[in-house]
Structure 1
Amino acid sequence: MVTDYDAIIIGAGFGGMGAAIELNRLGYHNLLILERESDLGGTWHVNRYPGLAVDIPSSTYSYSFEPNPYWSRLFAPGAELKKYACHVAEKYGLRRLMRFDTVVDGAEWDEGDAHWTVRCRGGEQLTAKYLFTATGFLSQPKVPDVDGIDTFAGKVIHTTDWDDTYDLTGKRAAIIGTGATAVQLIPEIAEKATELTVFQRTPIWVSPKPDVSIPTVVQKTFAALPLTQRLVRMIGTSILEMMMVSGVLHYKQLPLVNKLGELWCRAHLSRQVRDRELRRKLTPDYSFGCKRPTFSNDYYRTFTKKHVSLQTSSIVSVDADGIRTADGTRRDIDVLVLATGFNLWDVNFPAIEIIGRGGRNLGTWWRENRFQAYEGVAIPEFPNLISLNSPYSYSGLSYFTTIESQMRHIDRLFTAMKGRNATVFEVTHHANDDFLDRMTAKVGDSVFALGQCSTANSYYFNQHGEATLLRPSSTLSTYRQASSFPLDDYDYA
């Protein structure tokens, strides 16, 4: 049977665009990228809250083969990431492949015709030989389960649906959440609101942010001499590797590196917050690295302002006018901001229903067994599926490390198929089981297994208490494996 497309890619963020670029390089041009939002860019299209910026150096948060010499700051603001995404789409001819405002409900493998049938909301069905899911790790917003929150009569804003028309000036504001998004947003709200109450469940490790503007002369140098920017990228990546791989993943061998990271954050907090009780509330009781740490020069200092208060007692209920906490405190507010993050493990992995060989439901199988994916991309009984947002796929601190390692994997796998005149691939059970055993053993050396993580409330951990999101390998090792995995780890037909 003739299919509609060579491949359908679900998601028009950086991951989906990377997959499309690689497939084009390999000679597959009949592609369709389906995106539920109104434009491309993924998280950088959806998020536009005040203070939004990349939380690692911009030079490392971009494709290595498509550097941007014109970042305005070391940590670029969100609008520049969106602009960069548009630039990539235009340069590589991807926008013409994209269909926006299209919600995918599910996909099913057709054994008889050896293709995927993708179901779109509204009833349309599309077929493709290959299916790539690039729905993003942080794509399903999480709304707190708080009694009465639907009865609040004031303004409610989730950070993934920011209302640019709403003016916070003079408002009594409250924000729920103190994760990486809140670290960027709280100082911005405090600049406008007359009162700001921050409801914190879990404090976060925050280190100084070495953010500076990048002079025009430096930008011109990067443009004229790309090698200089590659050098900056290498330095930035090396620093991130030291933090992530050495201090977090090799915790057993190098506990001192992890401790230094914690001490660095503690010193930053001590410099900015003199009040001992406030400092205690802002200090995590879990090990550095159990939850993604972040950078800010303003976050801690914001809590020292007279009109900003930190509430660590749990929220009991919300009514029409305000919030009541377990210690009996009540706050009347005008606007409630939800910086409550994303739901990874309940409604993601996968983000849509995926039915493989023999009617196997991927989401059900993962939850009834263990979250697993060979090299973070392939699953047995799911032929011709590349799942870009899978267990053990996220490598390093820059998402582009993950994307480019997966592009290498796609290159090696599809080249092997062409060499065998095959059109169907499927990872073997043996290869998948062996990979899972190796990843599980390596996680055993990490802070996730040996540190104190029980109070972190970290999205790194799934509902079984396993840290299966991050790949416990260095970037170099991940790249090497993506380019050299045994070809007979797959069956071909």
Structure 2
Amino acid sequence: MAVQYDAVVVGAGFGGMGAAIQLKRLGLNNLAILEREDDLGGTWHVNRYPGLAVDIASVTYSYSFEPNPHWSRLFAPGAELKKYADHVADKYDLRRHMTFGAVVNGARWEEDEAHWVVSVEGQPEITATYLLTATGFLSQPHRPDISGIDEFAGKIIHTTAWDDSYDLAGTKTAIIGTGATAVQLIPEVARQAADLTVYQRTPIWVVPKLDVPIPSAVQKLFSRIPLTQRIARAVSSGILEMIMVSAVLHYKQVKLLNKGAAAASRAFLRSQVRDAALRKQLTPDYDFGCKRPTFSNSYFRTFTKRNVHLETTSIDHIAADGIVTVDGRKTEIDTLVLATGFNLWDVNFPAIEVIGREGRNLGKWWRDNRFQAYEGVSVPHFPNFLTLASPYSYSGLSYFTTIESQMQHIERLFGELKRRGADTFEVTEAANTEFLDRMTENLADSVFYGGSCQTARSYYFNQHGEAAILRPTSTRNAFVEAKRFPLEAYSIS
């Protein structure tokens, strides 16, 4: 049976598009990009909730090789990220490779044929020499298992499936969750709902968002002299690296920086909330960085509004007309918004079933052993497979840092395949083990292991108690290793 595609890329978000761009640069033009949604853009297509915006400066949250000089704000709204994704797909001729509404059920490696067989719901199986999964870190929505939720008689909206036709004006709304999404959403809902109750399980660190419109003169400067935008990107990335990445991943070395960031957040809270009891409820009791820090100028202040109530008592059950807490109090509502995030460790790693050599099931193997991937992209027993949203792959705070370092890894690996006239690769057990041990050792310096994170309930931690998402190195190290990793780390044939 002849192989149908050079490569199948699962996911048409920025990660999948970055991988496809790199493969095309390397001469692999027979691609299939399979996307379960009805359009490209990943999270920036799926999410449309009020207040959606990047929380990393737009000059950094974008491809370095495809700068956009026309961002309207320092932190662009979500609609502009979707527009940018469309632009990238068109410029790099990616749409013709994309199939939308293609729900991938799984993929298996056929040893005798040396190719991947990919199962797509309702369609014939397809084959490819290479398989790349770019399904994102936050792609599997979490619906809370709260007693009675299915009996609620009002409107239920998950933030990943926002109903634009539903009018919140005059409603009695409850929001469950106070994570990064909720920080953006709550101020917007508070402006519309007659009454809003926010159910908080864990408070979150919030720092000011230095967001301003980008004047048209600056946009023109970026367009005419691209070097100026590259400088702006370097400055933004450097600040993120110094304050956020260092304070989290190098906690032991720069503990004062971490404590300073927490102190700044507390000072910001004091400036917006005068009520000491409310401030106490909104103040985390875990170290800064145990959960992803968030940025907002209006989140804290929203809880001082008369129509907004913060509820920190645990939910017992949901009734047909409201939410009942464990102390027996019922809050009557007609609208329930679930800002409950995503399920990473049970269903997202990987987001589809992947079966490698000798029948090894990647998801089961990760959960029975440890979550691991060499340089955050490849796994032993899975030939010709790259997992782009994987353990120890997220570098820095901008996802584009991760994407572009992985693109460079692809360039080096596939360049060596071409040089040797080979078409099969698999990372060695030895290289994978050395990388895992090094990442584990590096994490000992992080706030995750050196700080106090017990009460954070952070999605950074998996069921083994390991913080296995972030790559615990500098961003520079991620790029250096992507360009120079030892080629003997792979068995190539």
1:60-99 → structure 2 map (5 Å cutoff): 60-99=60-99
Alignment correspondent of 1:129? 129
Cα distance in 1, alignment partners of residues 164 and 108 from structure 2 = 39
2:193 alignment partner in structure 1: 193
Is the 8 Å Cα contact of residues 156 and 336 (structure 2) preserved in structure 1? yes
SS at 1:483 equivalent: helix
Following superposition of structure 1 onto structure 2, how do residues 134-153 of structure 1 map, counting pairs within 5 Å? 134-153=134-153
For residue 254 of structure 2, what is the amino acid of its counterpart?
A: L
Alignment map for 1:162-181 (pairs within 5 Å): 162-181=162-181
Kindly state the Cα deviation for residue 243 of structure 1 after the two structures are TM-superposed.
2.3
3-state SS of 2:192 partner: coil
Aligned to 1:486: 486
Do 2:245 and 2:397's aligned partners in 1 also have CA atoms closer than 8 Å? no
Corresponding letter in the other structure for 1:448 = F
Task: Show CA shifts across 1:111-150 (max 9, x none).
Answer: 0000000001125200000000000100000001100000
Deviations 1:140-187 (A, max 9, x none): 000011000000000000000000000000000000000000000000
Aligned ranges 1:253-268 → 2 under 5 Å: 253-268=253-268
Which residue does the alignment assign to 1:288?
288
Matched, 1:36 2:36: yes
2:75 and 2:393 map into 1 onto residues whose CA distance is 24
Q: Which residue of 2 aligns with 1:441?
A: 441
Secondary structure at 1:292 match in 2: coil
Give the 3-state SS of the residue equivalent to 2:414 in structure 1: helix
- Is 2:274 the partner of 1:274? yes
Alpha-carbon shift at residue 462 of structure 1 (Å) = 0.5
Alpha-carbon separation, structure 1, partners of 2:387 and 2:413: 14
Q: Distance in 2 between matches of 1:100 and 1:123?
A: 12
CA distance in 1, matches of 2:179, 2:298: 14
Pairing 1:343–2:343 present: yes
The CA distance in 2 between the partners of 1:352 and 1:371, in whole Å, is: 15
Q: Deviations over 1:183-232 (max 9, x none)?
A: 00000000011100000000000000000001111100000000000011
C-alpha separation in 2, matches of 1:189 and 1:31: 42
- Equivalent residue, structure 2, for 1:317: 317
Q: Give the Cα–Cα distance (whole angstroms) in 2 for the partners of residues 46 and 298 of structure 1.
A: 24
User: Structure 2: which amino acid aligns with 1:155?
Assistant: K
Deviations 1:66-86 (A, max 9, x none): 000000000000000000000
- Alpha-carbon deviation of 1:419? 1.0
**Residue type of the partner of 1:447?**
V
Partner of 1:208: 208
Q: Secondary structure at the residue paired with 1:109?
A: strand
Q: Taking structure 2 as the reference length, what is the TM-score of the superposition?
A: 1.00
- 1:293-324: CA deviations, max 9, x gaps? 01000000000001100000010000110000
| 1:367 maps to amino acid | R
Letter in 1 for 2:165: T
- Residue 232 of structure 2 aligns with an amino acid whose one-letter code is V
Q: How far apart, in 2, do the equivalents of 1:25 and 1:263 lie? A: 47
For residues 47 and 19 of structure 2, what CA distance do their matches in structure 1 show?
22
What CA deviation, in whole Å up to 9, does each residue of 1:439-460 have, x standing for no partner? 0000011000011101111111
Residue-by-residue CA offset, 1:82-120 (whole Å, 9 max, x unaligned): 000000000000011100001000000000000000001
Q: What letter corresponds to residue 394 of structure 1 in structure 2?
A: Y
1:220 is matched with which residue?
220
Separation of aligned partners in 2, 1:278 and 1:148: 29
Structure 1 residue 246, shift from structure 2 partner: 1.4
Aligned to 1:427: 427
Work out the CA distance in 2 between the residues paired with 1:145 and 1:137: 21
The code of the aligned residue for 2:385 comes to L
Give 1:2 shift: 2.0
Give the letter for the 1:173 counterpart: T
- Secondary structure of residue in 2 paired with 1:60: coil
The SS at the match of 2:105 is strand
1:22 is matched with 22
Deviation, 1:244, is: 2.9
After TM superposition, the runs of 4+ consecutive aligned structure 1 residues lying more than 3 A away are none
TM-score (norm 1): 1.00
* 1:313-366 Cα deviation digits (max 9, x unpaired): 010000110000012221000100000000000001100000000000000000
Partner amino acid, structure 2, of 1:69: P
d(CA) in 1 for partners of 2:198, 2:81: 28
Q: 1:447-466 alignment to 2 at 5 Å?
A: 447-466=447-466
What SS class does the counterpart of residue 96 from structure 1 fall into?
helix
| Deviations 1:6-28 (CA, angstroms, capped at 9, x unpaired) | 00000000000000000000000
CA distance in 1, matches of 2:123, 2:146: 35
Equivalent-residue separation in structure 2 for 1:51 and 1:411 (angstroms): 37
Percent identity, aligned pairs only, is 68
Amino acid at match of 1:372: Q
Q: CA RMSD in A?
A: 0.6
Please name the residue that 2:473 is paired with.
473
State the AA in 2 paired with 1:33. Answer: I
- Give distance in 2, aligned partners of 1:98 and 1:372: 29
Amino acid at match of 1:180: A
